[in-house]
Amino acid sequence: MAKRRYDLPPLGFIQGFEAAARTLSFTTAAAELNLTQSAVSRQIKTLEDHLGVTLFERRHRALALTDDGRAFQKIAVDVLDRLQSSINQMRARRASNQLSVTTVTGFASLWLIPRLKRFTRLHPSIDVHIIANDRILDLERGSIDLAIRYTKTDKAPAGAERLFDEDIQPVCHPSLMESNETPLRRPEDLKHHTLLHLDYHGARKTLFDWGTWLTILGVEDLKPAGALYVSRYEQMIQAAMSGQGVALGVSPLINEAIRSGTLVAPFDRQAAGPHGYYLIRSETGAAKPQVADFCAWLHEEAAEDAVAEPLIASAGL
């Protein structure tokens, strides 16, 4: 059996000794290390046995370092300081290649994550942390580099970079259009199908409200076969992809699904929505080159999507 190169005690025992030597108290050291006093005492005894020396004089209600204890304390502090310094430098180097992004769940699920492999292929050394949350997070307090926010144009904060606007249109799985019994070809055919609703208080009388769209399509009195209400946009689109009904899709979030044939737009109607997606860099993120690389890539992706083959002609609504 090969002999071990280093005959060293466990690192945790050295940390326990350093804390006890610095505070001259097993109880205080135990509290600092989140251990029991008896556990620290056993560690010190095991360490002394391993070294073959006595490190502490156990006096009544007091501790004192022996000469060997003082010598070992200098060694322990030096080793632990060097080890901590090296670890800090490694973490700093790794952190320098990270970026954190917060955005709404729909954008993350349908647009960002499906194409993120293109960014990692271009920048394999950059680690991306995505925080998908429909709440607006404080970038500085949360140490977040970048936000991609869905907001009205006139509400976008100063310094925000427009990524793209939104166009809204009815979409469904191709099977609904190809159905032999109830094909979806005209707005009137919606009476045979389930309408998928985004269930939130701000949707009423907007372009995310089916009442608004039935009026646009000229069938305001139509009664659909059914309704399904969901609380998140990506859930509505997933339901449409699985053939459960007709959804109101936001372009460009659904563009890839339409181009791939997973979704189709049954009517030649599209309306420009009042919202857009904007990039907002935090103060710390604005100084990071990896954030600049990520933002440049986002703009390139958005530009490529905009010049790709059009989905349908805009109805100019």
Specify which residues 249 forms β-bridges with.
169
pLDDT, tens digit, for every residue of 47-79? 999 999 999 998 888 899 999 999 999 999 999
Cα–Cα nearest to 298, from 95, 99, 97: 99
Q: What integer best gives the mean pLDDT of the chain?
A: 89
Q: What pLDDT, on a 0 to 100 scale, did the predictor assign at position 1?
A: 58
Three-state DSSP at 140 gives coil
Question: Which class is 165-274 in CATH?
Answer: alpha beta
Q: What secondary structure letter does DSSP report for 188?
A: G
Q: What pLDDT, on a 0 to 100 scale, did the predictor assign at position 3?
A: 75
Beta strands (DSSP E) in the chain are 56-59, 62-65, 98-103, 127-132, 146-152, 161-171, 194-198, 226-230, 247-251, 271-281
Identify residue 76 by its one-letter amino acid code. A
Q: Hey, what CATH topology would domain 11-93 get?
A: Arc Repressor Mutant, subunit A (1.10.10)
Residue appearing with tokens 């030096």: 78
Instruction: Give me Rg for the CA atoms of the chain.
Output: 31
Q: Angle of helix 289-307 relative to helix 113-122, nearest 10 degrees? A: 120
Q: What is the DSSP string of 49-97?
A: HHHTS--EEEETTEEEE-HHHHHHHHHHHHHHHHHHHHHHHHHHHHHTT
pLDDT, tens digit, for every residue of 250-262? 988 999 899 889 9
On whether the CB atoms of residues 235 and 229 are closer than 8 A, the answer is: no
pLDDT exceeds cutoff 50 at 313:
no
On whether the CB atoms of residues 194 and 225 are closer than 8 A, the answer is: yes
Specify the CATH number for 98-164+276-306; select among 3.40.190.10, 1.10.10.10, 2.30.30.40, 3.40.50.2300.
Answer: 3.40.190.10
Cα–Cα nearest to 177, from 306, 74, 267: 267
- Segment holding 19, helix H or strand E: helix 11-23
Q: What pLDDT, on a 0 to 100 scale, did the predictor assign at position 231?
A: 87
pLDDT exceeds cutoff 60 at 315:
no
Identify residue 164 by its one-letter amino acid code. F
Contacts of 73 (CB under 8 A, 6+ apart): 17, 18, 21, 22, 65
β-pairing, 271-281 vs 161-171, is antiparallel
Q: What pLDDT, on a 0 to 100 scale, did the predictor assign at position 120?
A: 94
Three-state DSSP at 306 gives helix
- Where does the chain hold its CATH 1.10.10.10 domain(s)? 11-93
Residue appearing with tokens 């991609």: 148
pLDDT, tens digit, for every residue of 4-41? 888 899 999 999 999 999 999 999 999 999 999 999 99
Full-model pTM: 0.65
- Where does the chain hold its CATH 3.40.190.10 domain(s)? 98-164+276-306, 165-274
Three-state DSSP at 304 gives helix
Cα–Cα nearest to 154, from 251, 42, 276, 70: 276
